[in-house]
Chains A and B, each alone.
Chain A
């Protein structure tokens, strides 16, 4: 028998908004979800901007979302750094560095890499590489291959993390989606087990595949980066494929 749904994980970009545009019906759908009393957490791989900037963007376009509900791979990395008392060299864009405020970065003993075009130059990568050779851990916020920017596709952090891994023979610890630890941490914060949780997202591999790998039911939405047939490229079909976030919520309301 299917377990009752007690927790809902929601991706942000491409699922409820694209930049400063709300995906139609998402504000109302989120409201309906909240009224049922189910726990909601937002899980995102955003690494270009800090949580504060992201939150300002979301509330600015009309979403009712609180800081403690947003779980970003940046904050997960920050937690990891705190837990292990690391002093990281941060390969991050200036805005993302906000999330590491107060962290000691002198005399670094770890390397943290996010989407940071300004940092992916020869000098800084050499510096990071030498730290890794000395035995420092390599923490990747995520390993996305490329992303879309104004003038077309551009390299993401994944290729540069791969370069550092190859150069130093150190395997990166990947923090964000689709890592099981990332989803587990979000579940833990909701006090919810995987069987009673769903994940809604537009990335078949990182959102849906990642969540389902640890037993969370995956809802793939056909918005954002979704391309025709994405669900068939997964090893196992997703629990559900929905037109958009609001359709996903309608289906979830019947499972509570």
Chain B
């Protein structure tokens, strides 16, 4: 039987129980985004290939809402990643499905690059708000429009692609949609429904797609709250990489304690291949 302590054989505690599948965050784990497109995180391309070659089931779990899945696949291909749109689990398609099921007409506070995922929907007389990482679209007047729609609605519906606080773009940290979601929640006394990470439904749907149960899976991400905390809340092990938006302060986070830390995805995969 394998030893359990890191002290004895170097096995990290998050690999004590065998894993069968992985959920991988994209931005901050595979590559770092920036205005010019970004750069690959060294070792990540090989790491993904090694995982797949070893037979692991992998699903890429992203809150990316500033481009379509196809565009994201192309973007990742430029860095050397060979992914299929079906391996991506992103919030906009999930939101679209929810809107159609409930017959809702959305006011989209989204980045122009991601609007194509909503193409063909009815936007006239909107009766709900969908909010994402809208960047420059977060003007005072557009926020006001969303605010008034929610305030005047008998049954206000606010869908948020994620609840991320910020992300890295080049050398800058930029506000994500989460703070703006909180602003609208506070202003109108509503509670947003999160579609993407850290919603349990989002992680569980991604795992269903690869037929892996939560206790057999690990989520690797750079966001302490959304990736790690979200996964842990539904019984998935959460490991934080020290790349992307990671900050040293994260290691003393008041509420979220990851199952493990790794310097980057490459190190995580090496550990998995060695100890799992």
* Interface SS, A side: helix
Q: Could you say which residues of chain B place their CB within 8 Å of the CB of A122?
A: 135-139, 175
Contact B135 A163 (CB under 8 A): no
| Residue among B148, B173, B174, B187 having the largest count of chain A Cβ atoms under 10 Å | B187
Interface residue total, chain A, C-beta cutoff 8 A: 29
**Restricting to B135-151, which residues have a CB under 8 Å from any CB of A?**
135-140, 143-144, 147-148, 151
| Residue among A117, A158, A166 having the largest count of chain B Cβ atoms under 10 Å | A166
With A122-B175, A167-B175 already in contact, the answer to whether A145 and B186 are too (CB < 8 A) is yes
Q: Could you say which residues of chain B place their CB within 8 Å of the CB of A160?
A: 183
Which stretch, A99-107, A123-131, A224-232, touches the partner chain B? A123-131
Q: Could you say which residues of chain A place their CB within 8 Å of the CB of B186?
A: 145, 158-159, 162
Contact B183 A133 (CB under 8 A): no
| Interface flags, A148-165, vs B, CB<8A=1, else 0 | 000011111011101111
Q: Could you say which residues of chain B place their CB within 8 Å of the CB of A20?
A: none
Q: Could you say which residues of chain B place their CB within 8 Å of the CB of A152?
A: 148
Cα(A117)–Cα(B140), bound, Å: 6
Q: How far is the CB of A131 from chain B (nearest CB, A)?
A: 11
Contact B184 A159 (CB under 8 A): yes
Complex: chain A residue closest to B173, CB-CB: A130
Contact B187 A163 (CB under 8 A): no
Q: Could you say which residues of chain A place their CB within 8 Å of the CB of B136?
A: 122-123
**CB pairs A–B below 8 angstroms (6 shown):** A120-B143, A123-B136, A130-B172, A160-B183, A162-B185, A163-B179
Cα(A153)–Cα(B147), bound, Å: 9
Q: Is A146 an interface residue (CB 8 A)?
A: yes
**How many residue pairs, one in A and one in B, have C-beta atoms under 8 Å apart?**
80
Cα(A165)–Cα(B180), bound, Å: 11
Q: Is A121 an interface residue (CB 8 A)?
A: yes
Extra inter-chain contacts (11) besides given A155-B187, A158-B186, A167-B166, CB under 8 Å: A121-B140, A122-B175, A123-B136, A126-B175, A130-B172, A154-B147, A155-B147, A159-B147, A159-B184, A167-B165, A167-B176
Q: Is B182 an interface residue (CB 8 A)?
A: yes
Q: Could you say which residues of chain A place their CB within 8 Å of the CB of B174?
A: 126
Q: Is B156 an interface residue (CB 8 A)?
A: no
Contact B175 A129 (CB under 8 A): yes
Complex: chain A residue closest to B184, CB-CB: A159
Q: Could you say which residues of chain A place their CB within 8 Å of the CB of B140?
A: 117-118, 120-121, 155
Q: Is B112 an interface residue (CB 8 A)?
A: no
Q: Could you say which residues of chain A place their CB within 8 Å of the CB of B172?
A: 126, 130
Q: Is B33 an interface residue (CB 8 A)?
A: no
Q: Is B178 an interface residue (CB 8 A)?
A: yes
Cα(A160)–Cα(B179), bound, Å: 8
Q: How far is the CB of A120 from chain B (nearest CB, A)?
A: 5
Interface pairs A-B: 4 shortest CB-CB: A163-B179, A159-B183, A167-B179, A163-B183
Cα(A147)–Cα(B135), bound, Å: 25
Interface residue total, chain B, C-beta cutoff 8 A: 27
Contact B166 A129 (CB under 8 A): yes
* Interface SS, B side: helix
Q: Could you say which residues of chain B place their CB within 8 Å of the CB of A118?
A: 140
Contact A153 B151 (CB under 8 A): yes
Complex: chain B residue closest to A154, CB-CB: B144
Cα(A156)–Cα(B151), bound, Å: 14
Complex: chain B residue closest to A164, CB-CB: B179
Cα(A156)–Cα(B140), bound, Å: 10
Contact A129 B187 (CB under 8 A): no
Q: Could you say which residues of chain A place their CB within 8 Å of the CB of B180?
A: 163
Q: Could you say which residues of chain B place their CB within 8 Å of the CB of A121?
A: 138-140
| Interface flags, B161-173, vs A, CB<8A=1, else 0 | 0000110000011
Contact B166 A153 (CB under 8 A): no
Q: Could you say which residues of chain A place their CB within 8 Å of the CB of B176?
A: 167
Complex: chain B residue closest to A120, CB-CB: B140
Contact B139 A166 (CB under 8 A): no
Contact A133 B148 (CB under 8 A): no
Q: Could you say which residues of chain B place their CB within 8 Å of the CB of A158?
A: 186-187
Contact A166 B187 (CB under 8 A): no
Contact A163 B147 (CB under 8 A): no
Q: How far is the CB of A237 from chain B (nearest CB, A)?
A: 24
Q: Could you say which residues of chain A place their CB within 8 Å of the CB of B137?
A: 122
Cα(A237)–Cα(B172), bound, Å: 50
Cα(A159)–Cα(B143), bound, Å: 10
Contact B179 A166 (CB under 8 A): yes
Contact B187 A146 (CB under 8 A): yes
| Residue among A122, A146, A154, A164 having the largest count of chain B Cβ atoms under 10 Å | A122
**Restricting to A94-118, which residues have a CB under 8 Å from any CB of B?**
117-118
Contact A145 B175 (CB under 8 A): no
